[in-house]
Amino acid sequence: MKTFFFTLVIFLSIAQTYAQTSAHTKEDSQAILNLINSYTKSRDTKDTVLLKQILTKDIDQLVSSGVWRSGINEAIKGMMESSTSNPSERTLHVERIRFLAETVALVDARYEIKNPDGTVRKMWSSFMVIESDKKWRISAIRNMLPSSGN
């Protein structure tokens, strides 16, 4: 009988833990979608003030060329240089938000860059976002260019 109750307590504890990490509201998801839209807007308008509000200080970014950007200053500098040297229309279409914990989510998005000549570069972006002080911010970005076989 003791084994039964012990097993029941363990099972309920595990179930409650998983229920807590998956109990995110529509408001959380919408806030994250708004965050990604703000990121796109800040890149389009080269708004460094907005970027400083939506990125964590320790952000890191891996761009499709293989360059790592570490820290908010390096990330913003690289983003502005990229937006200036490649004045293209950028779009992010969020495909999935996966909550890893109460304050951490992984966001997968299709990333398209429409070049001035009309060609479109199709990539993937993943964002690690964290909630701090009731505000979601971008902590990491990974941009991937699929191989021609995909």
Residue 117: inside a domain, yes or no?
A: yes
CB atoms within 10 A of CB 85: 8
Q: Is residue 11 part of a domain?
A: no
For residue 116, name the pLDDT band (cuts at 50, 70, 90). Answer: confident
Of 143, 126, 139, 120, the residue nearest 64 (C-alpha): 143
Return all residues near 53 (Cβ < 8 A) that are at least 6 apart. none
CATH of the domain at 60: 3.10.450.50
Task: Specify if 12 maps to a domain.
Answer: no
Residues 6+ apart with CB under 8 A from 28: 99, 105, 131, 136
Sign of CA dihedral 39, 41, 45, 49: negative
Residues 47, 116: Cα–Cα separation, whole Å: 21
How high is the pLDDT of residue 49? 97
pLDDT at residue 4, rounded to an integer: 44
Under the banding of pLDDT at 50, 70 and 90, the label for residue 113 is confident
Q: Does residue 81 form part of some domain? A: yes
Give pLDDT, residue 13. Answer: 47
How many folded domains does the chain comprise? Answer: 1
**pLDDT tens sequence across 24-77:** 688 999 999 999 999 999 998 999 999 999 999 999 999 988 899 999 999 999
What is residue 65's predicted lDDT score, i.e. its pLDDT? 84
What Rg value do the Cα atoms of the chain yield, rounded? 19
Q: Where are the alpha helices (DSSP H) in 55-141?
A: 72-85
| 20 belongs to a structural domain | no
**9-14 contacts: CB < 8 A, separation 24 or more?**
none
Q: Which of 44-53, 87-96, 119-128 has the lowest mean pLDDT?
A: 87-96
pLDDT band for position 1 (cuts 50, 70, 90): low
Torsion over CA: 121, 57, 31, 80 (sign): negative
pLDDT at 86: 75
Q: Flag whether 3 is in a domain.
A: no
Contacts of 145 (CB under 8 A, 6+ apart): 64, 121, 123
pLDDT, residue 6, reads: 45
Tell whether 133 is covered by a domain: yes
Please give the residue range of the domain that contains residue 71. 25-144
Instruction: Indicate whether 87 belongs to any domain.
Output: yes
